[in-house]
Amino acid sequence: MRWLRKNLIVIIGLLVMAYILIPNIVVVVFSFNKPAGHYNYEWSQFSLDAWLDPCGAPGMCDALGLSLWIGIASATISTIMGTMAAFALGRYRFIGRSFTNLLVFFPMATPEVVMGASLLTLFISMGLESGQTTILIAHILFTVSFVITTVKARVASLDPALEQAAADLYATPAQTFWKVTFPLVAPGIGAGALLAFALSFDDYIVTNFNAGATTLTFPMFVWGASQRGTPVQINVIGTVMFLGAVAIVGIAQAIGARRRKVDA
């Protein structure tokens, strides 16, 4: 009984971890399935078919390529714009600063369907045809606020004494920025960029509003499949993404942990 009381939190924690991970495990297991019907929801028999022919589902790999491209492009642009804005907001006080903070916050508080809908109204009235450009514009819009918030927190936590020390040691402002400030803020920028990519790569709701009739991203492909029949290849991609994510996030965490150790 004492043991149970002492370790209750650990047991609950592990149960919640199971809640988080079981769907991912199902995705992995069902990538080895050979379903009897159109839907890959019930276990039938073990097969490597999907792994040996990952692009076997028509149109899937094109959609995946498009999503990767849009994810990288929008993450790059919103990271650059967001980092610049974060420095301004984290470093300076100016008239309209709290208004600017509010403007950054609002897109994060707006439900995706509202954002997708209002962008669509704008694009229609501008006469801009829906497609890759409109998706890219939309993705930069809903990722930039997250980048600003992430990087701003890092900028705000910087010790100003470090930059002053650099200046005392006759570093030019440019040298101070690139040799002192930037390396210290870099983890925040990296986290912001990763978050932006993940949000863009995963988005269905906003994208569906602004993609038009012929452009298909990976989440749109999965959505379509859920209505018509899910090819096993979807699970292969899901598995690769999960393992890739574990690897990337793991490496990022390990670097962060080592850095903290060195700091201490």
Partner 1 sequence: MALVVPVGRASRKRPARKRGTFTPLLLLAPAMLWLTIFFVIPTFSLASQSLQTGDIDNGFTLTWHFQTYADALSRYWPQFLRSLVFAGSATLITLLVGYPLAWFIAHRSGPFKTMLLVLVIAPFFTNFLIRTLAWITILTDNGPVTGFFRATGLINVLRWLGLVGNDTLLYSPFAVIAGLAYNFLPFMVLPLYTSLERMDMRLLDAAGDLYANGWQTFWKVIWPLSLPGVVSGTLLTFIPAAGDFINSKLLGNTQTTMIGQVIDAQFLRVLDYPMAAALSFILMATIIVMVGLYVRAAGTEELV
Q: Name which position in 36, 48, 84, 128 contacts partner 1 (CB under 8 A).
A: 84
Instruction: Of 162, 190, 158, 157, give the one whose Cα is nearest residue 176.
Output: 162
Stretch that binds partner 1, among 44-52, 54-62, 78-86, 174-182 (CB under 8 A): 78-86
Residue 223 engages partner 1 in binding (rule: CB under 8 A): yes
What mask of x and - would describe binding to partner 1 in positions 134 to 173, judged by CB under 8 A? Answer: ---xx-xx--xx--x-----------xx-xx--x-----x
Q: Name which position in 54, 56, 107, 187 contacts partner 1 (CB under 8 A).
A: 107
Instruction: Of 117, 120, 109, 112, give the one whose Cα is nearest residue 145.
Output: 109
What mask of x and - would describe binding to partner 1 in positions 11 to 40, judged by CB under 8 A? Answer: -xxx-xx-xxxxxx-xx--x----------
Residue 202 engages partner 1 in binding (rule: CB under 8 A): yes
44-73: contacts with partner 1 (CB under 8 A) = none
Residues 6+ apart with CB under 8 A from 167: 173, 176
DSSP single-letter state for residue 31:
T
Residue 76 engages partner 1 in binding (rule: CB under 8 A): no
Residues 6+ apart with CB under 8 A from 200: 67, 70, 71, 74, 75, 139, 143
Dihedral (CA of 195, 198, 204, 209) sign: positive
Q: Name which position in 61, 184, 186, 204 contacts partner 1 (CB under 8 A).
A: 204
Residue 93 engages partner 1 in binding (rule: CB under 8 A): yes
**Euclidean distance between CA atoms 180 and 161, whole angstroms:** 11
Smallest distance from partner 1 to CB 125, Å: 6
Smallest distance from partner 1 to CB 13, Å: 3
Cα–Cα separations (whole angstroms), residue 254 to 139, 154, 248: 29, 18, 10
Q: Name which position in 70, 104, 196, 232 contacts partner 1 (CB under 8 A).
A: 104
Q: Name which position in 1, 3, 52, 92 contacts partner 1 (CB under 8 A).
A: 92
DSSP single-letter state for residue 128:
P
**Euclidean distance between CA atoms 115 and 107, whole angstroms:** 8
Nearer to partner 1 (CB atom), residue 73 or residue 117:
117
Smallest distance from partner 1 to CB 216, Å: 14
Smallest distance from partner 1 to CB 61, Å: 14
**Euclidean distance between CA atoms 71 and 78, whole angstroms:** 10
